[in-house]
Chains A and B, each alone.
Chain A
């Protein structure tokens, strides 16, 4: 009996190792690239840890000093922050409404937004933003990011509201509360964990978006993923600075993942199962 459980423990451990090691390997290697000069980054056999005098801390300091990184970081925060908050404001009630009324057509529109290839938005949106005189501001990006964040929020919230019990709402209705009061005082407080998940997910997907930024961002309005891609210089390989920048960009999201993994797990599963 104990023999079998020991064996299963070992095989379980091995399976966990197999699953986790590609992720660990990748991020360790990324860290390693970011701390080396190109001469070591291209070396074969590969060098994992450079000699002490060959550690390229400057890959990091350069990222901050050279390319307006702080500004881009701030742009990312504003674009992602606004798009996420706004998506919560309209998306949470929408998720509630759709879940309660089983609104077929509304759900289809949200689905279409999720399914549409982002590329097809670019030209028309560029033209309309220019017509509105919004180019050169962060608005075009905030508005287009809504296409990402609103469906994510609705998606998670539908799933969440479908699982919350109806009895309390029914009781409140019988007590004479109107639809808004029921939502505000009964449904919303229960939905807090769901909102947290919607916030985290919409933040992550918006933060990582690259396609919109290529066309809609200018020098002053660039967000971080675009800025990282812009580290790619012609005629010079630059894996070190690139990896350093990439790590800095993903760091907020990675930290969020580790810190909030329990909530993400809970919310994603609930949302996906019910929302699909």
Chain B
């Protein structure tokens, strides 16, 4: 992150923090009888979040939270992989060093619930003395609540931000070739093929090819066939007819239209290539947008189009992922942690997320608020695609415990496709390898 973007973000924050303070003080009288933010003043909690622009925003807002509650916050951000590992080890030990953690719903939801690692928040929700009226369930989107509640309908996290998969496209390349942004899968392939010109070091399409990371790319296609990776009966659909068709799509577009070496690309290689103007389209999460519009990082700033995932043969779907904030069941300061969790998922923080393009809150009132357009630091096209994607949002990964094994095993199959593997055979092999792991984990 360069200082220029940081400065601009800081400016934004300075403004929004002031606005936030106003909003909070404005909200207080209505609930003054019950909710007391200062109830746990003097306590100290430890917060461990995954490093991301969303956590950056919370970190910058910390003084505001500490002033409001009198709670001291020890705050740290750790890269995703390490954070997940650290969480598991510490939660297993039964004495985690943190009171608030980040939960990647699409990876950890079932694991956290089944292991009994995260606190049940229902009790807190009912206690008006520690729960702000603003935290009411009614303002969270259906998808967010689905992520946050376990199978019995108990709240185990607060939903913080949602991630829709969209296509970033280079308007300049499209205009030069006279190509229109595609609306269907066949149009997508046609456009990608037309815009690929290896001799000029220009490629039509890029997306993650690295094992594990590549699975959401695949499911983005799969959902277009109206099929989820694991169906309602808990059966794997990755080797079904649709599963194989989606694999063919994945193989086709990434072998023909993507830069050589894409099999080893994670988001960062994709992002670098897109920002340098080497690729026409890049399929990935909505949260990757801010650097694209930063002139110290990107050669395509101001030229980026934000496209909705094209319509598949059966459906149009934007693969969706979500992050939340949860409290370890073993924490000894759950109430203070609950205050932090509410603050982190509050309307004001949601607003800070969306106006900076750092993320999209699960809060209906924020996303639907027309006034955020005025504060938006991103092109309006970005906000439009958020709204459109929300309408066709579908879970991008199955809600199972062994998500990592699923992503690794299916991811290997996808990797093999890029070196010429047969889609039907590879998907069958990967699915057969993973099936026993899933069955064992569901039985346990």
Q: How far is the CB of A36 from chain B (nearest CB, A)?
A: 10
B404 adjacent to chain A (CB < 8 Å) = no
CB atoms of A237 and B297 under 8 A apart: yes
Interface 1/0s, chain B 72-91, versus A by CB < 8 A?
A: 00111111101001100100
Judge whether B3 and A233 touch: CB under 8 Å.
no
Q: How far is the CA of A130 from the CA of B89 in the complex (A)?
A: 11
In A125-172, which residues have CB < 8 Å from any B CB?
126-127, 130, 135-136
Look across to chain A and name the residue whose beta carbon is closest to the beta carbon of B95.
A130
A237 touches B51 (CB 8 A): no
Residue B33 interfacial (CB < 8 Å): no
Q: Would you call A235 and B287 a contact (CB within 8 A)? A: yes
Which residues 252-282 in B have Cβ within 8 Å of A in the complex?
A: 267-268, 271-272, 275-276, 278
Chain B residue numbers with a CB within 8 Å of A218 are 76, 97
Taking a contact as CB atoms under 8 Å apart, the answer to whether A62 and B82 are in contact is no
| Chain B interface residue number, banded | 35 or more
A37-B297, A229-B82 as given contacts; A241 in contact with B1, CB under 8 Å: yes
- For the complex, give the distance between the alpha carbons of A90 and B48 in Å: 38
18 CB contacts below 8 A, A to B, read A37-B2, A37-B296, A38-B291, A39-B275, A39-B297, A39-B299, A42-B272, A56-B2, A61-B3, A214-B85, A219-B75, A230-B77, A230-B79, A232-B51, A233-B1, A234-B80, A235-B290, A237-B268
> What are the 8 closest A-B residue pairs judged by CB atoms, nearest first?
A58-B3, A219-B76, A38-B297, A37-B296, A234-B52, A42-B272, A42-B276, A235-B287
Choose from B1, B74, B75 the contact partner of A236 (Cβ within 8 Å). Answer: B1
Q: Which residues of A contact B (CB under 8 A)?
A: 37-39, 42-44, 56, 58-59, 61-62, 122-123, 126-127, 130, 135-136, 214-215, 218-220, 229-230, 232-238, 240-241
Chain A residues closer than 8 Å to B275, beta-carbon distance: 38-39, 42, 237
A83-B52 Cα distance, complex, nearest whole Å: 34
A236 with B53, Cβ < 8 A, contacts A39-B295, A230-B77 known: yes
Question: CA separation between A161 and B61, bound complex, in Å?
Answer: 59
Residues of A within 8 A of B53 (CB): 233, 235-236
Q: Is B46 an interface residue (CB 8 A)?
A: yes
Residues in B with CB closer than 8 Å to A135 are 97
Output the least CB separation between B7 and chain A (Å): 9
- CB-based nearest A residue for B82: A214
Alpha-carbon gap, A236 to B289, bound state (A): 9
- Tell me how far the C-beta of A213 lies from the nearest C-beta in chain B, rounded to whole angstroms: 10
> How would you classify the secondary structure of chain B's contact residues: helix, strand, loop or mixed?
mixed
Chain A: CB-nearest residue to B77: A230
**Chain B residue with Cβ nearest A238:** B1
In the assembled complex, the Cα of A238 lies from the Cα of B5 at a distance in Å of: 12
Q: Which of chain B's residues has its CB closest to A68's CB? A: B76
Q: How far is the CA of A135 from the CA of B296 in the complex (A)?
A: 41
| A-B contact sample (10 more), CB < 8 A, given A56-B3, A232-B79, A235-B285 | A37-B2, A44-B201, A56-B2, A126-B93, A127-B93, A233-B51, A234-B50, A235-B291, A237-B291, A237-B297
- Give the distance to chain A from B412, nearest Cβ to Cβ, in Å: 22
Closest chain-B Cβ to A222's Cβ sits at a distance in Å of: 8
Return chain B residues, CB-CB under 8 Å to A233: 1, 51-53, 56, 79
Q: Which residues of B contact A241 (CB under 8 A)?
A: 1-2
Q: A39-B296, A43-B276, A130-B95 are contacts. A237–B271 as well, Cβ < 8 Å?
A: yes
Contact mask B130-158 → A, CB, 8 Å, 1/0?
Answer: 00000000000000000000000000000
